[in-house]
Each structure stands twice: as C-alpha cells, then as structure tokens.
Amino acid sequence: MSLPPLPPQLKAIQHYLKTATEHDKRDPVVAYYCRLYALQNGMEIDKKSPECRTFHVALMDYLERVKKENDSESIHNEVVGQAHMENYALKVFLFADNEDRAARFNKNVVKSFYTAGMLFDTLSVFGEMSEDIDKNRKYAKWKAAYIHKCLKNGETPIPGPQNEEGEEGDTAQGGAPIGFEQPDPSQGYSPAPGPSSYQPGPSTYQPGPSASDSLNLPGNDPSPNGAQPGTHAPPSTPQDPQNSTKPAPQQVSFNTDWKPPANTNGVDLNTQHYQKAMKYCKYASSALQYEDSKTAIDNLTKALTLLTTGKDS
C-alpha cells in the first residue's frame, strides 16, 4: 500500500516518513511509530485542506492495516512499544556519542546523531517525554548540526559535551545547516545523567561501508515516500552491547490478556492505572541498572502514589 504525494504544507514530517520507509524491513516497530508520529504532527499542522485530509486518511488506513497484519506486542501494547523505541533510539545515540567522544568525525556520526534526535521525537506519541529523554533529544540534534557545520567549514569539532554555554550557544544558533529546529542554548548541551545517558564504550552500531559516501540531509530529496531503504537512515540496525561496562536497558514484555486485580485499598483502579504504574516501575528498574537511586526512588514513589490513591503525581 503506497501513500499519496506529501502535500507541501506537511514538509516538516517528510523525514519521519523516510525513516519509516527505511525501517519497514529492518524494524517494522520503528517504522510504525515513525509514521504514527508523522500522522499526529501532520494533523496538528493542517487537517482541513483537501490534500492534507486525503493524505492523513491514507496514512491512517496504512497504520490500521499494519496493526492488523503485524502481531508484534510492541505495536499492540503501548508499554512494550515505548520500551522498544527508547532502546532503539538510545542505541543509535550511543553509537554517535562513542564516535564523537573518540573524535572520529564523519558523515556517519552526523547522520546517527540526527536520526537519534528524530527517534527521540517519536517518543512523544506515548505521552509526555521524560526530562532526560528530552535533554538527550536536544543534545543529539545540536551535535548533528554542530559537527555538520564544522565538517562543512573545514574545522575540527570539539569532542563530547561542551560546558561553555557561550561557545555552544553561538554554534547552535549559527544558521541551521541541517534544517531541524535548534534547541534553546539556555538549556545547555550535554547528555542527561542517569539511565537515559550513555558513557563512552565499545561501539554497538556498525555503519555500512558506503554510508559515508553521501549524506542525505533534510531538503535534499523532495520525495518522502519513494526513498530506497537505507538511503536516509543509519546504515545498519544497532546491535546489543557486547562489552559495555553497564548493561543496556532490557525490553519489557507484558501479557496483553492481563486484567487488573481488585485493589485492597478501596481505590477504583482501571487497566490504564496499572499500565502507568508498570511504566514507572520499568523506569525505576532501568535507573537501578545505572545505580541512579534518586531516579529509581522518584519513579517507585510515583507508582506507589498512583496505586494507593488513583492519582498520577
């Protein structure tokens, strides 16, 4: 099933659609949520003009068809889907961060940071983005723009996070060479601490041999739906860490037939309450893997508050 041409008004979502096309065979879950994000944002941009309505309806039909034909729990269960997307985005981010800190600057690093930023964007389909994820999202986008600008001007980028706000603010403000929205310099540009941030270690994501030959950046290709697989995405699927000093977050699996038990505290809880509590517990578990007790306690407290009062703090 093919989509109609993307209306000019919806140009802002074209690279999410391209990323989806590139992942159709590599990772259908990533492809599904990239298109879902594109749909939600496209409707916010324009859902009234005839051409945009036609495109949105076709994209909705496409997503419904994929959901019916794919029995992946990551597509049918929001909690599992969020874990899948977080893990994938963080692995792409880890590859770019490792290469950057090792001062191996090339188009693959720019592309990987840029793709990680887009994948972090898609996590908003699951609700409000955590502070750490949002910080890493802004960092990835800024790093992509910064390294790309340096390579274009024949300059050597500075590896890793930059702590001098004046310098990095000037760099981020300078011209938007890649075309995405630049983060606010006042927020600072360093990866978030805790389970959403990775430290340098062995690369877990290996680019293909031809990936550095050409870098397809936003604005270079006007046809979002006809892209050949692999031309706009990271050249290979991230693999699980082999020698990392800290384990990667584990994907969580839940039984879709599960029903909430009766609450002994007399609070009327529904399935959504229990699933949200499970999310908090998942975040706490991930934080414990990185010895981040503060984040773990915060999320466990939120889960307990939700289960005992029915209110999300």
Assess whether 181 and 123 both reside in one domain. Answer: yes
**136 falls within a domain:** yes
Write out pLDDT tens, residues 199-231: 333 333 444 333 333 344 433 333 334 333 333
Rounded CA-CA distance 50/55 in Å is 9
What is the arithmetic mean of pLDDT over 244-261? 45
Assess whether 66 and 88 both reside in one domain. Answer: no
* CATH code of the domain covering residue 29: 1.25.40.270
The pTM (predicted TM-score) of the whole model is: 0.58
Express the helix, strand and coil content of the chain in percent, nearest 5 each.
55, 0, 45
CB atoms within 10 A of CB 67: 14
Assess whether 132 and 32 both reside in one domain. Answer: no
Assess whether 86 and 118 both reside in one domain. Answer: yes
Number of compact structural domains in the chain: 3
Assess whether 122 and 155 both reside in one domain. Answer: yes
**41 falls within a domain:** yes
Q: Is the pLDDT of residue 29 over 80?
A: yes
Segments forming the whole domain that contains residue 17 = 8-70
**296 falls within a domain:** yes
Residue 139: pLDDT band with limits 50, 70, 90: very high
What is the arithmetic mean of pLDDT over 1-17? 91
